[in-house]
Structure 1
Amino acid sequence: MYCQRNFLARLFLCFVFYSNGLQHDIPRDKRYVENKNGITNNVFEHARTDTKLSFITNSGICETTPGVNQYSGYLTVNETLNMFFWFFESRNSPTTSPLVMWFNGGPGCSSMIGLFVENGPCHFVDGNPDPVINPFSWNTVANMLYIDQPGETGFSYGSNTISSTQNASTILWTFMQVFYDAFPQYYLNRNFSLFTESYGGHFGPQFALDFLNKNDLIDKGLLTGSRKINLVSLAINNAWLDPVTQYKSYLDFALNNTYRQLINQPDYVKGIAKYEKDCYPIIQECTSTTGSAEDCAGASGNCYEATAWLVEEMNLDKTFNQYDIRLSAEDTVPPNIYEEYLNRKEVKQAIGVPGEMGFVACLGSINDRFLEEGDQARSFLGELGEVVQAGVRVLLWAGDADWICNWMGNLKVAEGVEFEGREMFLREEVGLFTVGGKVYGEFKGVDGLSWLRVYDSGHMV
């Protein structure tokens, strides 16, 4: 009897010690403070994704509204990628406001363009070298998250040479999982939206669809431990989304825009013939048949030469700006004063950027990689249709002085989206878009899909 009791006691003790060992082996999130490159960071190690979020709290840069919190820093992914982010709370009710993720296009253009030039908490006025509060900032009503992606875009850095929209998407899901676990106060019962522009016509539909697919896996119990992302809307201004449609729109817009005629009728006819002969067949091969990097990269070159290059060579005065034809080719769009500001040592240190990092708004090497992979020539019209059909509200809007991703092409893209309300959308009349009784553009929308043309504005609406 004694031996039996002794055996049971030893067995119990072994079980307790073994169980405790198991508990100690379970990876857990960690929070601590770390000094790196002379910068004191708050650190959140995320066990589930094996990543690390390092950030500065309330740097005092850009958003100076009392009581409005901000965070800036990096998500480190397996030491191969350090993705820069900058988050600003809503100026009104941050605990109930929705979360909006903004990223610029390129590919390879920093979201600091959107932050400082388009919709962020501060902007530059009358050439002043220091920014001031922007009363029209989107963080007046929403929590705003700006991310430099893909790869080494903007302040992001590392050896992760992303070269396709699909590869870039995976990291965004990881980022949101880490962000929500680090800052759960911005998650509970909160709507989430993706807003982007230009090459975001590729990024936006793919990222949105991947988020929806991951949510579906969570619902089916096939992806455990992850947080669902309550994606309610996707909005893209001056989107590069469906090259088959939009290469032709270079010619259409050059002839018929409301600002100035860029080519004459005979040259337009020549351009359409060249598009149909040298562009359309090969880009159809890319988007509808093989989808190979070789075919799609070749399609980009052929189509640009057949349409965009033709307009640039034949245009009547050779001075138009691609992003705003009201301006000359020599004008910088947008003004680059924000680049000078972000390259100041004290600004970088304040927001958690290593001092040796130089800020470049758009990195050509990233664009080159995407071109070589054939990513630019691929259409994301199918992905966008799936997003609309899933119940996500989608807006395509465009400044009507932009040529490079013009409103005519965006309208044709919107009309090509496959969803239940498509026939009704095609029949829908365009109406005036007014704010406070003043006309600012024209629009149409059916069910979850809307299109908007904004008067008197360019690529960065």
Structure 2
Amino acid sequence: MWSTLLIPITATLAATAVHAATSPAAVGANSSWGRSKGSETVAKGDISNGTTSQIIFHPDFPNHKLRIQKSILCDDGDTIYSGYLDIAEHSHMFFSLAESRDKPDEDALLLWLNGGPGCSSMTGFLLENGPCLVTNEGKSSTFNPYSWNSNANMIFLDSPVNVGFSKARKHVNTSHEAAEDIYIFMQLFYRAFPELAKNHFHVMGESYAGMYIPNVASVILDKNKHLDGATPDTIHVPLVSMAIGNGFVEIVAALRGQVDFACGKGIYNTSTCHKLNSQINTCRSSTATCRQNSTQLNCLQAEVDCISLDEPYDSTGLNPYDYTKKCDRSPSKDGPLCYKQASWIPTYLNLPKIRAELGVDFKAKPFEECSVSVYDAFILSGDWVSNTPALISELLESGIKLLAYVGVNDVVCNYVGVRRWTNAMQWQGQLKYVNAPFTEFKMPNGKDVGKTKSSGPLTYLEVDGAGHMVPHDKPVEALEMINRWIRGGQF
């Protein structure tokens, strides 16, 4: 989720462009996984002996440690762990792990990242595809029967730092920098959960995570290539695929897609469409200038020129994440994110008993679903204008698969834009992918719920009746989709 922050920051952007430790974490002794006991691995306690806390160290990353606590949420019987990756003294990245409900020792490991930039992955945990769904205006949560941990182990990571429960004195302001932190997190994570190092690993997320995910995969792939002769303590991360839902991947495709979608649906009048279509050329030109000469001024100007294409939608009164619904952003109605339940998440995660269950320091700042300061930092760095499809093409040619799925009712990261960048992306299989036919995406009972096309490692899939958050809008179809994907099945 990201567009809700666009309008208030556009004026600031334009002006800038013109003027160029939480408490010790614990793990219960009854986990279905073993725990590593090698030298320098367990610094406090030994889970195999039934102690209640575990802190993981890694000799290759001496300034980092991982603290873990077993948690109980929504009274559903799921095994959940939470904790922090401590990066030096003043930077801490929060995570929550939901163990697979099926075969945790054998099932794949998924890493989930929400977008923003600056929005917490606990949104996914409590509103979309996590084990619990927030209820009762944030006073409680309940079991999610369609959670993606039904058949997979799933990490929800608050990345970059200063998002959600993560905290730091200094912002991370690029997707690549955030990816470097995530790689180190995975190395310490595998020290804590060594049984998962043999299972397939998939990086997934939605919206601006379309920028994060390829960077994470690229860093992992690069680090894996350089492991030969390195210390045996650093492992080969078994990355298999990426899955990007309603992804913001390429700024021109995304913003032009918004205009084409809104004009095609009759949301904008002819005059507005004519004006915006002329602005698209400016967006495209300034983006090219930024990529050729990536000064801060050039890239800020590109962001101003492109993001302004989003502005007219705010006056329509429609939900930008699902154009078939209206949105009243007042707190008593739909809230700032246009989903009333989304406003319940901070209420729930700021309950003292829930913060204690997750191992959050009682002195830590209140949970915020999205961080404006992180958003601003990514804007000012020019991250939005990065040529992410170029990264994806390298990953595809290295054998890393991509599922680009999209709910067809979304406006902000809609299927028009996603079709455009997947078709335009230059890689060895481009021509075959462009010419591949669409087929129906069917449920096991034969019901048509969307359409899909695929060639080699690249698969594109549309989900009918869903908006920006496919797991929220179509949970049954989303679970079927992701189960087939991680099992290597066909759509």
User: In the alignment, what sits opposite 1:226?
Assistant: 234
Please say if residues 67 and 83 of structure 2, whose CA atoms lie closer than 8 Å, have aligned partners that are also in contact: yes
> Structure 2 residue aligned with 1:439, among 435, 448, 457?
448
User: In the alignment, what sits opposite 1:161?
Assistant: 171
> Structure 1 residue aligned with 2:212, among 203, 215, 231?
203
Residues 11-43 of structure 1: per-residue CA shift (max 9 Å, x gap): xxxxxxxxxxxxxxx983333159xxxxx7432
2:349 maps to 1:342: yes
User: In the alignment, what sits opposite 1:322?
Assistant: 320
Distance 2:446 2:139 in 1: 35
Please say if residues 63 and 70 of structure 1, whose CA atoms lie closer than 8 Å, have aligned partners that are also in contact: no
% same residue? 30
User: In the alignment, what sits opposite 2:57?
Assistant: 45
2:269 maps to 1:264: yes
How far off is 1:128 after superposition? 7.3
Distance 1:42 1:181 in 2: 11
Distance 1:270 1:350 in 2: 52
- After TM superposition, the structure 1 = structure 2 runs for residues 241-390 of structure 1, keeping only pairs within 5 Å, are 241-257=249-265, 261-276=266-281, 278-287=282-291, 289-305=292-308, 307-312=309-314, 318-330=316-328, 331-332=334-335, 333-334=338-339, 335=341, 336-357=343-364, 358-390=366-398
User: In the alignment, what sits opposite 2:42?
Assistant: 30
User: In the alignment, what sits opposite 1:7?
Assistant: none
Which one-letter code corresponds to 1:301 in the other structure? Answer: V
How far off is 1:457 after superposition? 1.3
User: In the alignment, what sits opposite 2:130?
Assistant: 120
Distance 2:236 2:270 in 1: 53
How far off is 1:70 after superposition? 2.1
Which one-letter code corresponds to 1:403 in the other structure? Answer: V
Please say if residues 114 and 207 of structure 2, whose CA atoms lie closer than 8 Å, have aligned partners that are also in contact: yes
Distance 2:232 2:211 in 1: 28
TM-score (norm 2): 0.81
How far off is 1:264 after superposition? 2.4
Gaps of 5+ in 2: 1-37, 47-51, 329-333, 471-491
Which one-letter code corresponds to 1:53 in the other structure? Answer: L
> Structure 2 residue aligned with 1:92, among 91, 102, 107?
102
Distance 1:410 1:112 in 2: 25
1:295 aligned counterpart, secondary structure: helix
Distance 2:75 2:230 in 1: 41
User: In the alignment, what sits opposite 1:5?
Assistant: none
How far off is 1:64 after superposition? 2.6
User: Which is higher, the Rg of structure 1 or of structure 2?
Assistant: 1
CA RMSD of aligned residues (A): 2.0
How far off is 1:431 after superposition? 2.0
Please say if residues 291 and 378 of structure 1, whose CA atoms lie closer than 8 Å, have aligned partners that are also in contact: no
TM-score (norm 1): 0.86
Distance 2:75 2:155 in 1: 13
Which one-letter code corresponds to 2:348 in the other structure? Answer: Y
How far off is 1:310 after superposition? 4.0
2:92 maps to 1:82: yes
Which one-letter code corresponds to 2:245 in the other structure? Answer: N
How far off is 1:286 after superposition? 1.5
How far off is 1:269 after superposition? 2.4
Please say if residues 406 and 463 of structure 2, whose CA atoms lie closer than 8 Å, have aligned partners that are also in contact: yes
Distance 1:28 1:343 in 2: 34
2:114 maps to 1:104: yes
Structure 1 residues 345 and 399: alpha-carbon distance in aligned structure 2, compared to 1, 3 A threshold: same
Please say if residues 214 and 223 of structure 1, whose CA atoms lie closer than 8 Å, have aligned partners that are also in contact: no
Gaps of 5+ in 1: 1-25, 35-39
How far off is 1:127 after superposition? 5.4
User: In the alignment, what sits opposite 2:16?
Assistant: none
Distance 1:407 1:246 in 2: 9
How far off is 1:373 after superposition? 0.7
Please say if residues 84 and 147 of structure 1, whose CA atoms lie closer than 8 Å, have aligned partners that are also in contact: yes
User: In the alignment, what sits opposite 1:392?
Assistant: 400
Distance 2:421 2:469 in 1: 19
Report how many residues are paired: 416
Distance 2:387 2:321 in 1: 22
2:64 maps to 1:56: no
Please say if residues 343 and 359 of structure 1, whose CA atoms lie closer than 8 Å, have aligned partners that are also in contact: yes
1:61 aligned counterpart, secondary structure: coil
1:30 aligned counterpart, secondary structure: coil
Which one-letter code corresponds to 2:186 in the other structure? Answer: M
Distance 1:61 1:125 in 2: 12
User: In the alignment, what sits opposite 1:191?
Assistant: 200
Distance 1:256 1:445 in 2: 26
Which one-letter code corresponds to 1:140 in the other structure? Answer: S
- After TM superposition, the structure 1 = structure 2 runs for residues 411-422 of structure 1, keeping only pairs within 5 Å, are 411-422=419-430
